[in-house]
Amino acid sequence: MEVVAVSVQYNPTWRYSGNQLKRWRMKANVTREELAAASNYSPDTIKAMEQGVRMPTARVLDVADGMCGAAGLLSAAKDYVKAEKFPPRAQDFMEYEQQAISLWWYEVALVPGLLQTETYARDLIGNRCPPLDEETVDERVAARVERQALLVRTPPVACSFVLYEAVLRGPHVGKEQLLHLLEVGRRGNVRVQVLPFDRAIPSALLGAMVLLETSERERYAFSEGQLASQLTSEPEVVGVYTERISMLRAEALSAAESVRFIERMVGEQ
């Protein structure tokens, strides 16, 4: 049995670099406001970098290196400070996702990452709170698009997605995203079903969930929250998720009916 619970955590490289940034700044009697003005960031952003909450950017490290007389020691951190492809709470799941031979996914509010267009992904990632710097946004958008290679892998991965109607009516879901769902759903290994509001059952409102099976026949259940997520192979939990998703698949429109449902929404755009 394996249970992995992941909560918010700091990138150790960001923390160390931020700590060094603060130490050099204070040693040189450079205020946070002065460094912010010189590097074209807000003082609060500099504070977040020094605390390791945000990635110290190359621009800040170079500017601070010059202002603080660090003789290249701060600038050298640029080779080690990298934007993480995925937030810490999801990194373990991403590793198992790439090993999957089958995947069942239910979403109640957002289009699943594997089905997102780049535009939709950028809208979500670029508008999170607290905000991410542009470099991190670019890295995470690229990583999300790269994940979608799973859908066209050989041998094919059997993928089943059930989307609550609220997903399709979300604020960032436009015609491009709806058409993309139709296109992906035409693949022989991908099944996309819509669960309309009038077919919703109580289980539909309990949150998103993912089930996956690896090539080693290991089965995992995953759920993601705002600040913490859980990935587990515990049979009891996997069994509960399997039952819930099976019920939702039975209540949802068939794949063909779902195509017509989405096509009507496209026509409304």
- Nearest 10 degrees: Cα torsion 115, 118, 41, 76: 90
The mean per-residue pLDDT over the stretch 222-242 comes to 87
Asked if the model's pLDDT at residue 10 lies above 80, the reply is no
Assigned CATH topology for domain 88-268? Endonuclease; Chain A (3.30.870)
CB atoms within 10 A of CB 175: 12
Q: pLDDT tens digits, residue range 35-46?
A: 999 998 889 889
Of the two residues 90 and 238, the one the predictor is more confident about is 238
Q: Cα–Cα distance between 15 and 51 in angstroms, integer?
A: 6
Assigned CATH topology for domain 10-79? 434 Repressor (Amino-terminal Domain) (1.10.260)
Q: What is the residue type of 223?
A: S
Kindly report the pTM of this predicted structure.
0.71
CA 65 to chain centre: 33
Q: pLDDT tens digits, residue range 94-143?
A: 888 988 999 999 999 999 999 999 999 999 999 988 788 887 889 889 98
Same fold, 10-79 and 88-268: no
**What is the 8-class DSSP label of residue 97?**
H
Long-range contacts of 184-188 (CB under 8 A, 24+ apart): 184/115, 184/151, 185/255, 185/258, 185/259, 187/151, 187/152, 188/156
Q: Residue ranges per domain, the chain?
A: 10-79, 88-268
